[in-house]
Amino acid sequence: MMRPQKRIARSSEPDRRAEIYDAAAKIICDKGFDAMTMNEIAQAVGMTKAGIYHYIEGKQNMLFAIMNYGMDMLDQSVIGVASQVDDAEKRLIAIIHSHARLITQGSNAVTVLVDEVAGLSPAQRKKIIQRKRVYFDFIRDTLEQLKRDGKLKDVDTTVAAFSILGMLLWISRWYRHDGKLTGDQIADEVLKVALGGMLRSPLRALRK
Amino acid sequence: MMRPQKRIARSSEPDRRAEIYDAAAKIICDKGFDAMTMNEIAQAVGMTKAGIYHYIEGKQNMLFAIMNYGMDMLDQSVIGVASQVDDAEKRLIAIIHSHARLITQGSNAVTVLVDEVAGLSPAQRKKIIQRKRVYFDFIRDTLEQLKRDGKLKDVDTTVAAFSILGMLLWISRWYRHDGKLTGDQIADEVLKVALGGMLRSPLRALRK
């Protein structure tokens, strides 16, 4: 799902939309949704403002589209991958590692999901909250299965699921791509902390 | 440092300031900084807008004052308490538990610290980032001491410190005071997850 920021080919409509969402999400991450203008988005992708409006009408709809695009990424790169994994320990590892990698690979749309719900209409907000809830339930269900299998420590699965999300979502606030650790190393470290906090045998799970 | 939302006595200037900051922080948490008006703050504390301006001139200075007030709370209730604790395991426990309790007791000013730095002037932002950095260093130094003492798992102390902060700060997004768990129980559960992820002997540390 991840694509480089600059691309040569600008052919299909889905590609163009993705390009617009990526550019707008970067602006939101840099200066906040309220300060963003449709003109800036147009400039960033080399289109006219009218051209942008051909795809999306207005800032609020743009924000909603970006958030759905971010949720699509989570659906495909995290839930889509992890839900194929039957073993609950391995599934938890897949969730945490793929979500962390999505952030360190620079997905601004996923970062926007964390912060900007206030900019949505009530109906839009409800839809995004529903999609986030599906993801939260997916994580908690995995922890519940681990609990049934006797593999989870004595922790509340709701608090544990939110703690995993907190660790993951916070990465986008502190990660610098020119920092000491690579994105892969950070994903590995967060995984160690999270598994150590949840599983009875975290090292065995990692060696599987 | 925590005070009830409604108080009878409205005497001293520091109290009045705290009342204004609490009211403004609640508005920011409910609807975001950009949507807040000075009039709403005045209404919430039963003052005139001119009365509010006697204390603070303008929204941006109000935000800066609230953030410093939130950092004062962290300084007093978390760093102030934990820095008295020589034993590094007990100090880590004090940090996590007192920060979690600060949030579940409803400190909106601490929540505002997480989200609204974009509303500050560059000079103000620099000062708040510096104060946050002191807190981050305090957590990481504690982890470094645990590493030297052989009590820390094999985890990167920077990633681990940010993971602790992510778990703690995220609480203000999901905690509901009318939920299944009390604030104290949530602090205990987050503590279990965090210690389990970091310490070689988390249960021994909790029993100390």
* CB-based contact B156 A181, cutoff 8 Å: yes
CA-nearest residue to B191 within chain A is A197
pLDDT of the residue at A137: 97
Tell me whether residue B107 is in a domain.
yes
Assign B69 a pLDDT band (cuts: 50, 70, 90): very high
* CB-based contact B166 A171, cutoff 8 Å: yes
CA-nearest residue to B129 within chain A is A174
Residue numbers of the domain that contains A191 = 59-207
- State the Cα–Cα distance between residues A31 and B140, nearest whole angstrom: 29
Q: Are A167 and A186 in contact (CB under 8 A)?
A: no
- The alpha carbon of residue B51 is apart from the nearest alpha carbon of chain A, in Å, by 28
Tell me whether residue A32 is in a domain.
no
* CB-based contact A167 B166, cutoff 8 Å: yes
Cβ-based contacts of A30 with chain B (< 8 Å):
none
| Residue found by looking up tokens 């991840």 in the block | A2
Window 73-112 of A, Cβ < 8 Å to B: none
A137 at B interface, C-beta within 8 A = no
A71 at B interface, C-beta within 8 A = no
Total number of domains in chain B: 1
* CB-based contact B170 A162, cutoff 8 Å: yes
Name which of B166, B180, B181 is nearest A170 (Cβ-Cβ): B166
B65 at A interface, C-beta within 8 A = no
Residue B6 clears pLDDT 90, i.e. is over it: no
* CB-based contact A156 B31, cutoff 8 Å: no
- The alpha carbon of residue B194 is apart from the nearest alpha carbon of chain A, in Å, by 6
pLDDT of the residue at B124: 94
Tell me whether residue B4 is in a domain.
no
Residue B32 clears pLDDT 60, i.e. is over it: yes
E strands of chain B, at which residues?
Answer: none
Among candidates B104, B35, B31, B24, which has minimal Cα distance to B69?
B24
In Å, how far are A142, B88, B99, B106 from B188, measured between CA atoms?
A: 22, 18, 11, 17
Angle, helices A183-198/A157-174, rounded to nearest 10 degrees: 160
Residues A61-67 have a mean pLDDT of 94
Tell me whether residue B27 is in a domain.
no
Residues A128-152 have a mean pLDDT of 96
pLDDT of the residue at A117: 78
**pTM value?**
0.88
CA-nearest residue to B28 within chain A is A118
- The alpha carbon of residue A15 is apart from the nearest alpha carbon of chain B, in Å, by 30
Q: pLDDT tens digit string along A79-101?
A: 999 999 999 999 999 999 999 99
Residues B147-176 have a mean pLDDT of 94
Cβ-based contacts of B158 with chain A (< 8 Å):
180-181
Tell me whether residue B44 is in a domain.
no
- Tell me which amino acid residue B94 is: A
Tell me whether residue B54 is in a domain.
no
Residues B118-132 have a mean pLDDT of 91
* CB-based contact A196 B198, cutoff 8 Å: yes
Tell me whether residue A180 is in a domain.
yes
Residue B4 clears pLDDT 80, i.e. is over it: no
- The alpha carbon of residue B193 is apart from the nearest alpha carbon of chain A, in Å, by 4
Other Cβ atoms within 10 Å of A179 Cβ, number: 13
Q: pLDDT tens digit string along A3-12?
A: 444 444 445 7
Residues A168-189 have a mean pLDDT of 91
Q: Are A66 and A119 in contact (CB under 8 A)?
A: no
| CA B89 from centre of chain | 21
B178 at A interface, C-beta within 8 A = no
Q: Which helix (H) or strand (E) holds A136?
A: helix A122-148
Residue A132 clears pLDDT 90, i.e. is over it: yes
A187 at B interface, C-beta within 8 A = no
- Tell me which amino acid residue A110 is: V
3-state secondary structure of A199: strand
What is the CATH number for B93? 1.10.357.10
Other Cβ atoms within 10 Å of A203 Cβ, number: 12
B205 at A interface, C-beta within 8 A = no
A184 at B interface, C-beta within 8 A = no
Among candidates B62, B61, B72, which has minimal Cα distance to B21?
B62
Q: Are B56 and B124 in contact (CB under 8 A)?
A: no
* CB-based contact A190 B31, cutoff 8 Å: no
Tell me whether residue A11 is in a domain.
no
Global ipTM: 0.87
